[in-house]
Amino acid sequence: NAGVMQNPRHLVRRRGQEARLRCSPMKGHSHVYWYRQLPEEGLKFMVYLQKENIIDESGMPKERFSAEFPKEGPSILRIQQVVRGDSAAYFCASSPPGATDTQYFGPGTRLTVL
Amino acid sequence: GNSVTQMEGPVTLSEEAFLTINCTYTATGYPSLFWYVQYPGEGLQLLLKATKADDKGSNKGFEATYRKETTSFHLEKGSVQVSDSAVYFCALSRSSNSGGSNYKLTFGKGTLLTVNP
């Protein structure tokens, strides 16, 4: 059973560009979570999604950030008009139904904004 | 709000030494507590968990006991190996809604452990 997959592993963008981060959950998992890890910090919750639904986006910045988990395909975290402060590692996790606190993490996408 | 404080690193030990990484938490109600491990270049892996007071989580020789009276969940291992070198994260889960599922993990900053042969 393949684990949580994220791509790209590394992403470099210039200020003002868009960043798209992809996450494929483990097989059989219908819950996806995104976390951000700033340098020297722990991971911070951003958003929790189920298929076609945003359940909790309380950790998402109000502007420029959006997330989706369509019926088909991976979950996407989209950052528009990136700024240097967006540079971080973005981790996706997934969980099976009924076990939302047992989360399996992907390897992360390291975003660098020049 | 919820928070997790874990001991500052880095921690450097010799092989077969005893390991303790301290973790304390602040939370309302009854959170679940976790230790995650992150090996270089990889994602976080769940190491162990405990869901109620006095529970002991254990895995791969690591142990941690949920101490509600001291709001602590210290990670211990009796004899570390070089392969244990990694970053260790303490975390708790508590829903932002009253009742419901505990999906929002709150993490400490992580502790880098290096084990030398």
CB contact under 8 A, A43 and B93: no
E strands along chain A, which residues? 5-7, 10-13, 19-24, 31-37, 43-50, 53-56, 65-68, 75-79, 88-95, 104-105, 109-113
B34, B37, B102, B104, best to mutate vs chain A, most A CBs in 10 Å: B104
Q: What is the mean pLDDT of residues B37-54?
A: 90
Read off the pLDDT band of A1 (50, 70, 90).
low
CA of A101 vs chain B CAs: smallest distance (Å)? 5
Q: What is the mean pLDDT of residues A49-67?
A: 94
pLDDT value of residue B104: 87
> Residue type for B2, please?
N
> From CA A103, how far away is CA A34, in angstroms rounded?
11
pLDDT value of residue A56: 93
Q: b/e string for A36-59 if b means 16 or more Cβ within 10 A?
A: bbeeeebbebbbbbeeeeebbbeb
pLDDT value of residue A101: 79
> From CA B94, how far away is CA B34, in angstroms rounded?
12
- Which of A20-24, B19-23, B50-54 bottoms out in mean pLDDT, i.e. has the lowest? B50-54
CA of A61 vs chain B CAs: smallest distance (Å)? 16
Q: Tell me if B44 sits within 8 A of B36, measured CB to CB.
A: yes
What secondary structure does DSSP assign to B25-67, as a single string? EE-SS--EEEEEEE-TTS-EEEEEEE-STT-EEEETTEEEE-B
CB contact under 8 A, B105 and A107: no
CB contact under 8 A, A45 and B4: no
B69-114 residue pLDDT tens: 999 999 999 999 999 999 999 999 975 444 555 788 999 999 999 9
Quick one: which of B93, B83, B109 has its CA closest to B19?
A: B83
Sign, CA torsion B105/B11/B85/B41: positive
Residue B55 has pLDDT above 70, yes or no: yes
Residues of chain A with C-beta less than 8 angstroms from the C-beta of B101:
100-101
Candidates B41, B103, B108; nearest CB to A101: B103
CB contact under 8 A, A91 and B107: no
pLDDT value of residue A39: 83
Read off the pLDDT band of A58 (50, 70, 90).
very high
Residues of chain B with C-beta less than 8 angstroms from the C-beta of A102:
46, 49
Candidates B44, B103, B106; nearest CB to A105: B44
CB atoms within 10 A of CB A4: 22
Partners of A91 in the β-ladder: A35
Q: In 3-state terms, what secondary structure has residue B17?
A: coil
A55: Cβ contacts below 8 Å, ≥ 6 apart:
A48, A49, B103
Quick one: which of A56, A53, A30, A54 has its CA closest to A45?
A: A56
The residue written with tokens 């109600």 in the block is B29
Higher-scoring residue by pLDDT: A11, B104: A11
The residue written with tokens 């949580």 in the block is A4
pLDDT value of residue B9: 84
What is the residue-averaged pLDDT of chain B?
Answer: 91
User: Chain-centre distance of CA A73, in angstroms?
Assistant: 14
pLDDT value of residue B86: 96
CB contact under 8 A, B4 and A42: yes
pLDDT value of residue B98: 46
Interface of A with B (CB under 8 A): 3-4, 6, 31, 33, 35, 40-45, 48, 55-56, 58-59, 91, 93, 95, 100-108
